[in-house]
Amino acid sequence: MQPYQRDFIELALARDVLRFGEFTLKSGRQSPYFFNLGRIDSGAALARLGEAYAAALVRAQLPVDMLFGPAYKGIALAAATAIALATSHGRDLPWAYNRKEAKDHGEGGVLVGAPLAGRVLIVDDVMTAGTAVRESLALIRAHGATPAGVLIALDRQERGQGDLSAAQEVARDHGIPVIAITGLDEVLAYAGERPELASEHARLLDYRSRYGVSA
Ligand code: OMP
């Protein structure tokens, strides 16, 4: 596990982003864990999260021209990543986000920020079945730009529509990589190291055997 991955899991536990229990997912699956990035609710926590996203992107060495944050959660995440790339990695990339509803006055339209152009990296929170990401891919293409990849905090590494994970399906169907700060694999590895998380670790293993894919 990379230091930024460990730091991110520790941040997630400290801020109750990562919680264990019984959760119903958007897909309808019952999960023993849930990641809520909405709990990153202070400046210092958001800065730390942005550093983790930036570190994951730099490690992946993916060439991108700009960042796109899908409304709503992706907006703050793309902003935090753009700041971390500029301040910690010397890369000042343009960034943009969308509105959920088109504005018919002022500057109008659904996009705010830099015009979508070149290779666009989508920055979002969690991928389970990949529904949210597919909407962003369509939006980027509709504006004549090229999706370059997807950067997320957590890849739940669950089966999507077939035997592949949603991230693997996006890679296959759209020819772009999905880069995650962490996946279920890292959450499992972290929980496996902590005696106090032994029962959570067992439930995660059981969940993975039902819905997971091998990375
Ligand atoms: P997909 O659109 O199916 O990939 O699901 C991703 C979305 O599910 C995220 O953008 C969240 O809204 C939500 N989600 C989480 O935030 N955290 C989780 O641990 C699981 C989910 C989920 O419902 O699958």
pLDDT tens profile 16-39: 999 999 999 988 999 999 999 999
How many CB atoms sit inside 10 A of residue 134's CB?
A: 15
Pairing assessment for the beta strands 95-103 and 66-69 based on DSSP bridges:
parallel
Cα-only R_g, the chain: 17
Q: Point out the ligand 1 atom lying closest to the alpha carbon of residue 73.
A: 10
Q: Point out the ligand 1 atom lying closest to the alpha carbon of residue 129.
A: 3
> Residue 215: is its pLDDT beyond 60?
no
Query: Which comes out higher in pLDDT, residue 104 or 12?
Result: 12
In this prediction, residues 137-143 reach a mean pLDDT of: 94
How many CB atoms sit inside 10 A of residue 162's CB?
A: 10
Question: Of all protein residues, whose CA lies closest to atom 14 belonging to ligand 1?
Answer: 126
Question: Of all protein residues, whose CA lies closest to atom 11 belonging to ligand 1?
Answer: 126
In this prediction, residues 137-154 reach a mean pLDDT of: 95
Return d(Cα 28, Cα 57) in angstroms, integer: 30
Say which range, 49-53, 110-114, 161-165, 202-206, has the weakest mean pLDDT: 161-165
For residue 52, what are the contacts with CB-CB under 8 A and spacing of at least 6? 4, 5, 7, 8, 11, 153, 181
Tokens 């090229």 belong to 146
ipTM of this predicted complex? 0.94
pLDDT for the residue 18: 97
pLDDT for the residue 2: 92
Instruction: Compute the distance from residue 32 Cα to the ligand 1 centre, in Å.
Output: 14
Instruction: Compute the distance from residue 26 Cα to the ligand 1 centre, in Å.
Output: 6
Catalytic residue annotation: 103, 105
Beta bridge partners of 69: 97
Whether the CB-CB separation of 136 and 68 falls below 8 Å is answered with yes
Beta bridge partners of 146: 119
Return d(Cα 29, Cα 82) in angstroms, integer: 33
Instruction: Compute the distance from residue 106 Cα to the ligand 1 centre, in Å.
Output: 33
Beta bridge partners of 20: 33
Q: Which two tokens stand for residue 41?
A: 């609710």
Tokens 């705010």 belong to 112
Return d(Cα 177, Cα 102) in angstroms, integer: 29
Q: Ligand 1 pocket by C-beta < 6 Å: which residues?
A: 25-27, 34-36, 125-132, 166
Query: Which comes out higher in pLDDT, residue 108 or 28?
Result: 28
Is residue 182 part of an annotated ligand binding site? no
* pLDDT (tens digit per residue) in 34-82: 999 999 999 999 999 999 999 999 999 999 999 999 999 999 999 999 9
Instruction: Compute the distance from residue 215 Cα to the ligand 1 centre, in Å.
Output: 19
> Residue 163: is its pLDDT beyond 90?
no
Q: How confident is the model at residue 177 (pLDDT cuts 50, 70, 90)?
A: very high
Q: Point out the ligand 1 atom lying closest to the alpha carbon of residue 127.
A: 4
Q: How many residues does the chain have?
A: 215
pLDDT for the residue 193: 95
